């Protein structure tokens, strides 16, 4: 049993009765601390008094002290005052009523002495009425007898209310005698709680409350059976209940007061990682097998390869989407991929340019004649649409550009074994108008996207205009041989045609005594891959007499060189040309220090170079790819009043037919030869007999240039005109 601290006592201050009677209760320093301990068996003690009895004097008592609930100790202080003797006797009495009128018990008297300046302790014990546990009729301290309810009552009263006898001989027994009113009695009604005698002489108690049904499904209150005192409860089938069986649902009370429900349908797995039910366990419910290893979605965007775990959860492999050189921010897609939320559109990246999708657009193949990484490091222009007639000069970077269009980034790229090339870098290119290229260096259009040429891209050379870009590279070319002049009666022979993809035509000879040979055509040179990129070769100058006023026919310039490299699709439905220029006609005899003969016609320039490449290449049936040679110029008239020979025609830009040689102006001179084309090779001019002061011979035709098509992935060529026939890096149907 746990330790119970002593209950707090009730303290009363009592002055001696004598002092009270004298009207002078002056409490001195000496006093008694009286502690009254009430034993547990003193169940009938309801009120306490403490008495002080001086020798030979009446006792003095305290006022009634009702026994507080749950209190077992009463404390009283008695001070000696001026009239109490040194020694007194103290005792405590207990009463069975709250007003201390019916004596129930008393303690053993205790004689004590006052000690000046001290509070002397005294303990008295109330151990309960002698009637507690005693038989009815037993004598008790007040001279009465013990009653059935263990109270001490006056003698001559009904003291046993259960014996069915008239104890006081007043003709009434037990509950019929008023002496037993409110005393415990016995009744046959077992449903009476704490029965007591009633004023009408009966024995009755409070009705037994049947408020504790045995199960949830019994109604309350229930009904008590008087014969047994047992409560009975009727079933209540109108309320819900819990049968503790997880395999039932909608549980409700049954007519037998049991609890039952409808069997659950195990057709709703708790998650995607559980298969169809295999049964039901009353303690745990529906059984669903875990689909360990099956695919699922854990709801986390930054995880992939989500699979069902052994505990039925879904777990994937975590991944992240950090920024890249082309994306300032990216978000997870949940499948291992990343979505770009903040692209660095148009910014340079390693070997390319950033797209609006956040990727680095690079060349998916190694392009010819330049390094994409080196060019991209210098910057890449935007998307260019040329719907006007634009031009660019590779010598000084001069240009005329379509309004509102971004300019490409211009970079010079060195070529091994060839001239420097000018690279125009941009993201996309559309040519629906025209772009004409001129200047001393070949041009590469490097496009980090798609190219669509439906207009004209020209690197051609023509009489009277700037030569195509990179025409006549002296270190690599095989130009036509210049014409010469006879030693006396000077007459010039024509210049030979320039050669590149094919040999140029020879000029006409001046035959006979004193005559001279015309210039030979240039030989085939370069290679089919067009690496390095360079233009075509010019024709030879027409020979002229040894006269400071004489002028031989001007040579035709070779076609320029253009390369289009697309990282995406290269689509050509228009014209891409690098044809050569025609040679000028020889002049008639020009009077000078002496009268001499005509001047030789100039040789035609060879075709230049067209190099087209892309990841995917489509050359449509409407496309025209040309690098034709120019025609030779007609020889000049030997008469000072005669005619200058006609120039040869410039190489065709949209057809595969040969450029015509100059003819028809001088009847005695030989005509210029036709330029080379897919239809025929470069022609040689006719010979004429030499006569002093006579007419000159025409120039040879320029040979064809080169056309090359490279594809990385797919290719289709349906071009209506390709002159000369192109070569292919990979087969192209």
Task: List pLDDT tens digits, range 296-312.
Answer: 999 899 999 999 999 99
Average pLDDT of the residues of the chain: 89
The stretch 472-480 carries a mean pLDDT of: 83
Query: Looking at residues 181-195, what average pLDDT do you find?
Result: 90
How confident is the model at residue 21, as a pLDDT? 29
Per-residue confidence (pLDDT) for residue 317, from 0 to 100: 92
Residue 465's contacts (CB-CB under 8 Å, 6 or more residues apart) are 438
Average confidence (pLDDT) over 518-530: 95
Taking 60 as the threshold, does the pLDDT of residue 553 lie above it? Answer: yes
Strand partners, 318: 303
What is the rounded distance in angstroms from the CA atom of residue 399 to the CA atom of residue 719? Answer: 30
**pLDDT at residue 151 greater than cutoff 50:** yes
Residue whose C-alpha is closest to residue 387's, from 424, 430, 425, 427: 430
Q: Tell me how far apart the 2 most distant CA atoms of the chain are, in Å.
A: 197
Q: Could you read off the pLDDT of 309-338 as tens digits, one per residue?
A: 999 999 999 999 999 989 999 999 988 999
User: Which has more confidence, 489 or 186?
Assistant: 186
345 with 355: CB under 8 angstroms? yes
Is residue 685 within 8 A of residue 695, CB to CB? The reply is no
Q: Does the pLDDT of residue 346 top 90, yes or no?
A: no
256: phi then psi, degrees, rounded to nearest 5: -95, 15
* Least confident range of 246-250, 487-491, 616-620: 487-491
Beta bridge partners of 699: none
Contacts of residue 170, Cβ cutoff 8 Å, sequence gap at least 6: 158, 177
* Fold exhibited by the domain 10-126: Immunoglobulin-like (2.60.40)
Element at 386 (helix H, strand E): strand 383-386
- Give the pLDDT of residue 7: 38
Average pLDDT over residues 380-397: 96
The answer on pLDDT for 369 being more than 90 is yes
Q: Per-residue pLDDT for 556 more than 90?
A: yes
Whether the predicted pLDDT of 474 surpasses 50:
yes
- The whole-number average pLDDT for the span 577-582 is 98
Taking CA 333 as the corner, what is the angle to CA 332 and CA 335, rounded to the nearest 5 degrees? 115
pLDDT the model gives residue 596: 77
Check pLDDT > 60 for residue 27.
no
Round to whole Å and give the CA distance between 52 and 67: 20
Write down the pLDDT at residue 49: 93
Tokens of 9: 């006592």
pLDDT of 267 higher than 90: yes
Find, among 28, 141, 40, 159, the residue nearest to 84 by Cα: 28
Label residue 19 by pLDDT band (50, 70, 90): very low
pLDDT band at residue 547, thresholds of 50, 70 and 90? low
pLDDT at residue number 581: 98
Reported confidence tier of residue 141, pLDDT bands at 50, 70, 90: low
56-60, 451-455, 544-548: least confidently modelled range: 544-548
pLDDT at 140 over 80: no
CA 191 to the chain's CA centroid: 76
How do residues 597-653 score in pLDDT, each as one tens digit? 889 999 999 999 999 999 999 999 999 999 999 999 999 998 877 899 999 999 999
pLDDT band at 251 (very low <50, low <70, confident <90, very high): confident
Looking at the predicted structure, is the pLDDT value of residue 530 above 90? yes
- Indicate the SS3 state at residue 21: helix
- Cα–Cα dist 269/261, whole Å: 21
Give residue-wise pLDDT tens across range 684-712.
Answer: 999 999 988 889 999 999 999 999 999 99
**pTM of the prediction?**
0.60
Which DSSP string do the residues of 635-697 spell out, in sequence order? Answer: PPPSSTTS-PPPPPPPPPSS-SSPPPPP-SS-SSSPPPPPPP-SSS----PPPEE--TT-PPP
pLDDT at 441: 97
Q: How confident is the model at residue 625, as a pLDDT?
A: 98
CA distance 442 to 536: 10
Q: Which residues pair with 510 in a beta bridge?
A: 688
Residue 610, SS3 per DSSP: strand
- Cβ burial, residue 334 (10 Å; 0-12/13-18/19+): middle
Q: What distance in Å separates the CA atoms of residue 541 and residue 539, rounded to the nearest whole number?
A: 7
What is the model's pLDDT at position 224?
93
């Amino acid at each position: 049993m746990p330790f119970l601290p002593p209950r707090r006592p009730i303290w009363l201050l009592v002055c001696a009765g004598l002092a009270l009677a004298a009207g002078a209760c002056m409490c001195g320093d000496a006093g008694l601390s009286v502690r009254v301990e009430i034993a547990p068996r003193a169940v009938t003690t309801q009120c306490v008094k403490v008495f002080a009895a001086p020798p030979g004097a009446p006792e003095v008592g305290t006022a009634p002290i009702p026994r507080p609930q749950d209190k077992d100790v009463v404390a009283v202080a008695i001070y000696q005052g001026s009239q109490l003797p040194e020694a007194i006797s103290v005792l405590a009495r207990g009463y069975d009523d709250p007003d201390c009128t019916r004596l129930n018990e008393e303690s053993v008297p205790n004689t004590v002495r006052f000690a000046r300046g001290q509070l002397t302790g005294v303990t008295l014990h109330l151990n309960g009425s002698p009637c507690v546990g005693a038989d009815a009729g037993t004598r008790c301290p007040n001279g009465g007898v013990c009653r059935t309810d263990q109270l001490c009552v006056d003698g001559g009263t009904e003291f046993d209310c259960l014996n069915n006898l008239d104890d006081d001989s007043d003709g009434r027994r037990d509950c019929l005698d008023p002496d037993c009113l409110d005393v415990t009695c016995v009744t046959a009604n077992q449903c009476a709680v704490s029965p007591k005698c009633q004023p009408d002489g009966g024995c009755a108690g409070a009705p037994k409350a049947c408020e504790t049904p045995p199960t949830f499904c019994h109604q309350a209150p229930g009904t008590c059976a008087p014969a047994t005192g047992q409560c009975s409860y009727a079933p209540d089938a109108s309320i819900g209940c819990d049968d503790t069986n997880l395999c039932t649902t909608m549980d409700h009370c049954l007519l037998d007061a049991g609890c039952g429900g409808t069997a659950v349908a195990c057709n709703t797995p708790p998650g995607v990682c559980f298969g169809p039910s295999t049964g039901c366990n009353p303690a745990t419910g529906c059984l669903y097998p875990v689909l360990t290893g099956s695919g699922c979605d854990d709801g986390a965007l930054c995880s992939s390869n989500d699979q069902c775990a052994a505990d039925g959860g879904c777990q994937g492999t975590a991944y992240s989407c950090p920024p890249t050189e082309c994306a300032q921010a990216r978000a997870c897609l949940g499948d291992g991929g990343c979505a770009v939320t903040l692209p660095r559109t148009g910014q340079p990246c390693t070997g390319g340019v950033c797209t609006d999708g956040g990727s680095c657009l690079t060349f998916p193949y190694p392009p010819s004649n330049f390094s994409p990484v080196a060019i991209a490091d210098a910057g890449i222009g935007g998307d260019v649409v040329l719907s006007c007639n634009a031009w660019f000069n590779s010598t000084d970077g001069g240009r005329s550009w379509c309004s509102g269009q971004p300019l490409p980034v211009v970079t010079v790229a060195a070529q091994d074994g060839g001239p420097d090339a000018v690279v125009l870098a941009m993201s996309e290119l559309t040519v629906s108008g025209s772009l004409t290229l001129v200047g001393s260096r070949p041009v590469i259009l490097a496009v980090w996207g798609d190219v669509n040429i439906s207009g004209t891209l020209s690197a051609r050379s023509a009489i009277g205009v700037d030569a195509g870009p990179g025409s006549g590279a002296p270190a690599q070319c095989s130009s036509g041989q210049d014409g010469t002049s006879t030693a006396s009666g000077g007459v010039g022979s024509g210049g030979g045609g320039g050669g590149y993809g094919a040999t140029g035509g020879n000029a006409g000879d001046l035959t006979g005594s004193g005559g001279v040979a015309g210039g030979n055509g240039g030989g085939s040179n370069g290679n089919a891959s067009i690496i390095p990129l360079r233009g075509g070769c010019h024709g030879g100058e027409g020979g002229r007499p040894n006269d400071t006023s004489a002028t031989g026919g001007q040579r035709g310039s070779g076609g320029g060189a253009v390369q289009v490299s697309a990282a995406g699709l290269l689509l050509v439905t228009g014209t891409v040309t690098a044809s050569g220029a025609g040679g000028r006609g020889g002049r008639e005899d020009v009077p000078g220090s002496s009268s001499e003969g005509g001047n030789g016609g100039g040789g035609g320039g060879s075709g230049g170079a067209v190099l087209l490449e892309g990841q995917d290449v489509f050359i449509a049936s409407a496309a025209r790819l040309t690098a034709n040679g120019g025609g030779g110029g007609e020889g000049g008239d030997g008469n000072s009043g005669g005619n200058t020979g006609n120039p040869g025609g410039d190489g065709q830009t949209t057809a595969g037919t040969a450029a015509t040689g100059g003819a028809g102006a001088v009847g005695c001179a030989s005509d210029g030869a036709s330029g080379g084309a897919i239809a025929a090779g470069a022609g040689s001019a006719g010979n004429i007999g030499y006569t002093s002061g006579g007419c000159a011979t025409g120039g040879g035709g320029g040979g064809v240039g080169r056309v090359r098509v490279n594809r990385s992935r797919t290719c289709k060529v349906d071009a209506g005109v390709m002159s000369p026939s192109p070569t292919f890096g990979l087969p192209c149907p």
